[in-house]
């Protein structure tokens, strides 16, 4: 059951992802999808919508009619308690028709303020009373801070146990984010070097070219810290920094990630100003066109204090990471769209090539997450010719060119995991709570100290100068993400 089946997420992501699963044979014939939303639609109209959204995402969709015939629509206001019973009887009929054995997934693709009400009704009206499995899939944002997240959690826990709740962080569905684990734990080469003896710093960048677009109302209340850092950025850091789990099971991996979040040094008071930088975009040029500043965007306060950029230095207080800064940055209206992780290894103890006037570049391992997917390793090797000169070489793997496999959409992977009951790539409540408690302390300081210099970066740049100073004071600088692209190597 998809609640919010006429919305943007359902149309752009969920229907095309379900179709891909269907076409690959990962979804058997024994499935039915009930779309729930307020506007009145017949089953046929809904099926037409489903076909249209699949077609606009996938060119060669040859089994559309067959696929869409599994879709049914129920017009229903989720705040109206009287119509859950009708939904229940529809679910029971479909259960019989398709032989679903009582297995039910409830996907809440709607605003979080409805999650609690829906969960309560699903239980109260008997939709969760089933002989098969019942699972709840929910979207971010999971609360606005720790308090609201706790409240939301207690509402949904009323109807679902923790292991029945699948909190989506779509970054965790991305191939290359999942690849962090494989690169680290399936190669003898990296794990022995993965510590403060050999790594000098780690940089995680997730930059967007788009501005806030029509999401001004939501973004004004959220900002980059809550929208990106609390979930996606900290999840990537947890995967990078965790200890090898004893087994690759959901519980073991989650428990190692939780340990990283617990070891992350909390920032309070002046430490926030020292370790975190916020920014807001002003007008600027992108692709030769003038774009407005954040404060000029629709539904944004003309004196808004909301950050559209965050950079920060994270410290993980454990034996492995003591002394290694982990820098993160994310923002809107930046120069390039890129999500990348750069692991910079320490310099060699002495440069034997110094006499020839050469600097030896540090070794870098770059994990390209989006839009390009791949891994690059920067090494030094001899330049061809007579002189003994070291030259930077880049060993490159691109998912596009290398494997020749079309990377599945994150939502496709996550939906499939949920159907199979694999919660590894979803966030556990403990992770959510720890990330909020880290982020809340930063927001508290920022809310009490209005940013005086907003807007402080031009649209089309890589953020405010203070973000560069954050690294410069420790002798580092951001690796220019555009130059590191797989295609540029």
Single out the residue of 30, 39, 221, 265 in contact with ligand NAP (rule: CB under 6 A): 39
Compare residues 13 and 378 and give the one whose CB is closer to ligand NAP.
13
What is the rounded CA–CA span in Å between residue 404 and residue 425? 24
What is the rounded CA–CA span in Å between residue 259 and residue 243? 9
Q: Does the annotation mark 232 as catalytic?
A: yes
Least separation in angstroms between residue 206's CB and ligand NAP is 14
Which one is catalytic: 70, 74, 232, 275? Answer: 232
Nearest to residue 336, comparing CAs of 467, 207, 228?
207
Single out the residue of 85, 86, 111, 186 in contact with ligand NAP (rule: CB under 6 A): 111
Compare residues 111 and 388 and give the one whose CB is closer to ligand NAP.
111
78 binding ligand NAP? (CB under 6 A): yes
Compare residues 6 and 376 and give the one whose CB is closer to ligand NAP.
6
Nearest to residue 294, comparing CAs of 205, 206, 216?
216
4 binding ligand NAP? (CB under 6 A): yes
388 binding ligand NAP? (CB under 6 A): no
Partners of 202 in the beta sheet? 326, 343
CA distances from 89 to 5, 103, 127, 191, 216 (A): 19, 15, 9, 54, 39
Q: Which stretch binds ligand NAP (CB under 6 A): 110-118, 175-183, 233-241, 347-355?
A: 110-118
Single out the residue of 18, 34, 37, 156 in contact with ligand NAP (rule: CB under 6 A): 37
Q: Which stretch binds ligand NAP (CB under 6 A): 34-42, 253-261, 340-348, 375-383?
A: 34-42
For residues 389 and 353, is the Cβ–Cβ distance under 8 A?
yes
Nearest to residue 49, comparing CAs of 68, 25, 76, 21?
68
Q: CB-side exposure of 150: number of CA atoms within 13 Å?
A: 7
Tokens of 39: 């506007």
Size of the site for ligand NAP (CB under 6 A): 18
- CB burial class (10 A; 0-12, 13-18, 19+) of residue 301? exposed
30 binding ligand NAP? (CB under 6 A): no
Cβ-closest residue to ligand NAP? 7
Least separation in angstroms between residue 354's CB and ligand NAP is 51
Tokens of 444: 């508290």
Least separation in angstroms between residue 17's CB and ligand NAP is 12
Single out the residue of 29, 45, 66, 77 in contact with ligand NAP (rule: CB under 6 A): 77
For residues 377 and 394, is the Cβ–Cβ distance under 8 A?
yes
Binding residues for ligand NAP (CB under 6 A): 4-9, 37-39, 77-79, 109-112, 139-140
Instruction: List the catalytic residues.
Output: 232
């Amino acid at each position: 059951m998809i609640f919010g089946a006429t919305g943007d997420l359902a149309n752009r992501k969920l229907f095309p992802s379900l179709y891909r699963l269907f076409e690959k044979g990962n979804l058997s014939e024994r499935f039915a999808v009930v779309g729930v939303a307020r506007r009145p639609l017949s089953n046929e109209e809904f099926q037409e919508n489903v076909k249209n959204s699949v077609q606009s995402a996938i060119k060669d969709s040859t089994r559309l009619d067959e696929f869409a015939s599994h879709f049914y629509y129920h017009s229903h206001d989720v705040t109206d308690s009287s119509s859950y019973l009708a939904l229940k009887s529809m679910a029971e009929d479909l259960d019989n028709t398709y032989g679903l054995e009582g297995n039910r997934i409830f996907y809440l693709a709607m605003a979080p303020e409805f999650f609690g009400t829906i969960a309560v009704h699903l239980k109260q009206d008997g939709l969760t009373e089933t002989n098969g499995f019942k699972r709840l899939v929910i979207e971010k944002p999971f609360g606005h801070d720790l308090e609201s997240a706790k409240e939301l959690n207690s509402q949904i826990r009323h109807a679902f146990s923790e292991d029945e709740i699948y909190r989506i962080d779509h970054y965790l569905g991305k191939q290359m984010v999942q690849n962090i684990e494989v690169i680290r734990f399936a190669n003898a080469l990296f794990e022995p070097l993965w510590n403060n003896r050999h790594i000098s710093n780690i940089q995680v960048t997730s930059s967007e070219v788009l501005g806030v677009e029509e999401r001004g109302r939501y973004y004004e209340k959220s900002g980059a810290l809550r929208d990106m850092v609390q979930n996606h950025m900290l999840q990537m850091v947890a995967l990078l920094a965790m200890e090898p789990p004893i087994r690759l099971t959901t519980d073991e991996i989650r428990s190692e990630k939780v340990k990283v979040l617990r070891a992350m040094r909390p920032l309070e008071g002046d430490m926030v100003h020292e370790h975190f930088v916020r920014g807001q975009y002003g007008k600027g040029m992108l692709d030769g066109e003038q774009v407005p500043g954040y404060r000029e965007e629709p539904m944004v306060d003309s004196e808004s204090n909301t950050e559209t950029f965050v950079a920060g230095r994270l410290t993980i207080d454990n034996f492995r990471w003591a002394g290694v800064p982990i820098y993160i940055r994310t923002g809107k209206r930046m120069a390039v769209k890129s999500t990348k992780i750069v692991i910079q290894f320490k310099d060699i103890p002495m440069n034997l090539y110094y006499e020839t006037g050469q600097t030896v570049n540090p070794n870098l391992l770059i994990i390209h997450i989006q839009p390009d997917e791949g891994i690059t390793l920067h090494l030094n090797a001899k330049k061809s010719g007579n002189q003994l000169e070291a030259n930077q070489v880049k060993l490159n793997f691109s998912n596009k060119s290398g494997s020749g496999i079309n990377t599945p959409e994150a939502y496709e992977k996550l939906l499939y995991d949920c159907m199979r009951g694999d919660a590894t790539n979803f966030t556990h409540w403990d992770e959510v709570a720890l990330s909020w408690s880290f982020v809340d302390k930063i927001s508290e300081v920022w809310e009490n100290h209005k940013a005086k210099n907003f807007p402080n970066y031009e649209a089309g740049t890589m953020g405010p100068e203070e973000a560069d100073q954050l690294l410069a004071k420790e002798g580092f600088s951001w690796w220019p993400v555009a130059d590191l692209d797989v295609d540029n190597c």
